[in-house]
Amino acid sequence: MATRHIRNLLGSPVLIKDQGVTIPITPDYLIEPDEYQRWALSVDIDTALDAGDIIVVHNGIVLSIFDSKCLIHEITDYLTTEHANPAPSQINYFTKILRFIGPIFTVTNGGSGRTDIAAQLSGSAEGKETTYQFFNNGANIKDKWFDHEGANITCDTTPGVIAANSKARQITFSNVRDNSNLFVDIYKNGTAPGNLFFTWDVLAKRIAWKTNGLDAITFATGDRIRIFGRDAGGITPSKAVVKITLVNTDNILGEGGFATL
């Protein structure tokens, strides 16, 4: 049977106030299985761990401070690559404990999957996905800019702004006409021919999706994105939506802007 102990490193009794427990100098304090849920919500144990007053011993193995917190807060099973993405039922629970270990999640990587968990709980972590939506409500869409986020403001004048270094994960297209044709042009940082850096040929489709061949679609923080629907002949689309999903490629935080486009 797995065991979970707290070891005193201070040399004098350590009070975990919110649990009403004092950790003696010796022996190691045993946490019984029916107490795991209660200890998982402890704030004071994190304080004692950070101070170096105690450490957790799991099955006779002394853990690091990070792994001690992971075990106490009941998320150890999710810190492997195989379990990098928590089940939806776990999200609320992880959110509760993120205030204790979140900063460690966002700076610890090395294939452990920890950053992937943080990405689902933090708006800026590596692996976080953001979907940009572009609309054109016209009856015949050819050689026209799309609106950004459906605001009826074409993206040639008001582009989408990329907030983090990122790369494309998927693109989707839909419209109201069967078998329609359109070249979906993606522009970066301008509307001149030289700013066109990727074209998706959507031919004889009412809906379409693409997840392959997207390696060329990368953005840096502050880049501007625009979508242009270029005539591909045949049946023209009508009332179309293009969505592009980007995934963050780092954990850099910040803010900024430009006075002009």
What are the tokens at 39? 């200890």
Give the separation between CA 167 and CA 244, rounded to whole angstroms. 10
Write the CB contacts of 211 (distance below 8 Å, at least 6 apart in sequence). 169, 170
- Cα angle, residue 223 at apex, residues 190 and 207 outer, rounded to 5°: 80
At 212 the pLDDT is 92
Counted residue by residue, the chain has a size of 261
Q: What are phi and psi of 183, to 5 degrees?
A: -90, 115
User: In a structure prediction context, what are the per-residue pLDDT tens digits for the chain, which is 261 residues long?
Assistant: 678 999 999 999 999 999 999 999 999 999 998 898 889 888 899 899 989 999 999 989 998 887 888 788 766 444 433 334 444 444 444 444 444 444 333 333 333 334 444 444 445 556 677 888 999 988 899 999 999 766 678 888 989 999 888 999 899 999 999 999 999 999 999 999 999 999 999 999 999 999 999 988 999 999 999 999 999 999 999 999 999 999 888 766 667 777 887
Give the separation between CA 51 and CA 4, rounded to whole angstroms. 20
Place of tokens 């204790």: 100
Write the CB contacts of 204 (distance below 8 Å, at least 6 apart in sequence). 179, 180, 181, 234
**Which pTM was predicted?**
0.55
3-37: burial string, b at 16+ Cβ within 10 Å, e else:
ebbbbbbeeeebebeebebebeeeebbebeeeeee
Give the separation between CA 246 and CA 49, rounded to whole angstroms. 37
Domains and CATH numbers, the chain: 1-74 (no CATH), 80-122 (no CATH), 129-248 (2.60.120.40)
